[in-house]
Amino acid sequence: MLVDSHCHLHMLDFKALASDLDSIISLAMEQDVKQMLCVGTNLQDLPKILRIAEHYDQIFASVGLHPNEEVETEPTAEQLVSLASSSYKIIAIGETGLDYYRTEGKDNHQWQQQRFANHIIAALTCRKPLIVHTRQARKDTLAILKSERAGEIGGVLHCFTEDWQTAKEALENNFYISF
């Protein structure tokens, strides 16, 4: 049995795929993908993600903001906990983390770091694992995971492209690595 720990079913272009969600889910099941986690990247998509997750037994959801997602008002840890508690189908916090690739030369790392810390606080509060996105921010990602005690809840560093040393540190801190 396989588990897709990070998909964005709510973002699929069904016209381009000449398909529909039922067909895509059936094809995944035929390939032994028995469960999927539809990951949130912004809060506006959460209702759509939940409709999908609540319609299919094998699909679950997460709540979070991608590091590059710009919003007018940052959600507090309490707001994230409330959203994460709104459905039994929400099993994780994220996608969250740090992405300095698209912000090179810009001075906005502090708000990403604060957002990441808020997501970790929410995950610890509601006891749900984290889905961490990190890109060109290895040192800061590991430092924040440690300082905010994220290892107590664990999670996954998704779409991992870092080095072996980073992988070892993540694994030692109760995180899985996905490729």
Taking the domains of the chain in order of start, what are their residue ranges?
A: 2-177
Rounded CA-CA distance 133/150 in Å is 14
Percent of the chain with pLDDT over 70: 97
46-71 pLDDT tens trace: 999 999 999 999 999 999 999 989 89
Distance, CA of 5 to CA of 159 (rounded, Å): 10
DSSP per position, 71-98: -SSPPPHHHHHHHHTS-TTEEEEEEEEE
- The architecture (CATH level 2) of 2-177 comes to Alpha-Beta Barrel (3.20)
Q: What is the mean pLDDT of residues 67-83?
A: 94
Question: Please, what is the average pLDDT of the chain?
Answer: 93
Q: In the predicted model, is pLDDT for residue 179 greater than 80?
A: no
Predicted TM-score of the model (pTM): 0.92
CA separation for the pair 66, 115 (Å, rounded):
9
Residue, of 43 and 106, whose pLDDT is higher:
43
Q: Residue 105: its pLDDT value, please?
A: 61
Flag whether pLDDT at 19 surpasses 70: yes
Please choose, from the candidates 151, 122, 146, 113, the residue with its C-alpha nearest in 3D space to the C-alpha of residue 64: 122
